[in-house]
C-alpha cells in the first residue's frame, strides 16, 4: 500500500448505529487530519493530530470521536449521527509541522450515508 488509504470506501448507517472510519498513511508523516466534504460546501477541517496528540478540534459535535493510536493510523468513531452528517469524509497526512505548512496528502475518502 502506498499513500493514504481509507476504509471503508462506502458506509450506510442508521442514526442509532456505531461505526468507525479508518485511515492509514504510508508516507512516514506525523500529522493527520479529518475533513468533511458536504455537497455544495467547502471542505471543512474537523480534527488535527500531531505526533498522536490532538491539536485542533474545529467545533465538531461530540457524536464524532477521533482516535490516533500512532502516527500512521487515525480513526473516526461515529455514534448517533444525523442525516445531515452524510458526506464524504477525507483523511489527510503531512510531515511533522515545522515553520510553515506542509503539503497535505489525501486519501480517497469514505462516502457516509446516514439514514
Q: Is 21 in the site for another protein (CB under 8 A)?
A: no
Q: Minimal distance in Å, beta carbon 80 to another protein? A: 25
Q: Is 59 in the site for another protein (CB under 8 A)?
A: no
Nearest in space to 12 (alpha carbons), one of 85, 79, 111:
111
Q: Is 42 in the site for another protein (CB under 8 A)?
A: yes
**E strands within 43-109?**
44-50, 53-57, 64-70, 73-79, 87-94, 105-106
Q: Which residues, numbered 64-93, are part of the site for another protein (CB under 8 A)?
A: 88, 90, 92
- Binding another protein (rule: CB under 8 A), the pick from 12, 15, 56, 61 is 56
Nearest in space to 36 (alpha carbons), one of 114, 94, 99:
114
Residue with smaller CB distance to another protein, 18 or 26: 26
Cα 95 from Cα 28, distance rounded (Å): 7
Cα 25 from Cα 71, distance rounded (Å): 8
Q: Is 105 in the site for another protein (CB under 8 A)?
A: yes
Q: Which residues contact 28 (CB under 8 A, 6 or more apart)?
A: none
Q: Is 106 in the site for another protein (CB under 8 A)?
A: yes
Residues that bind another protein (CB under 8 A): 31, 40-43, 45, 48, 50, 55-56, 58, 88, 90, 92, 94, 97-101, 103-109, 111
Amino acid at each position: 500500500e502506498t499513500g493514504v488509504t481509507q476504509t471503508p470506501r462506502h458506509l450506510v448507517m442508521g442514526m442509532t448505529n456505531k461505526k468507525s472510519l479508518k485511515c492509514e498513511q504510508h508516507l512516514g508523516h506525523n500529522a493527520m487530519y479529518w475533513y468533511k466534504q458536504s455537497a455544495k460546501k467547502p471542505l471543512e477541517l474537523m480534527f488535527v493530530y500531531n505526533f498522536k496528540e490532538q491539536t485542533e478540534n474545529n467545533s465538531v459535535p461530540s457524536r464524532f470521536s477521533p482516535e490516533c493510536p500512532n502516527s500512521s493510523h487515525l480513526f473516526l468513531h461515529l455514534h448517533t449521527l444525523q442525516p445531515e452528517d452524510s458526506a464524504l469524509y477525507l483523511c489527510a497526512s503531512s510531515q511533522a509541522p515545522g515553520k510553515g505548512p506542509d503539503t497535505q496528502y489525501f486519501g480517497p475518502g469514505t462516502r457516509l450515508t446516514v439514514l
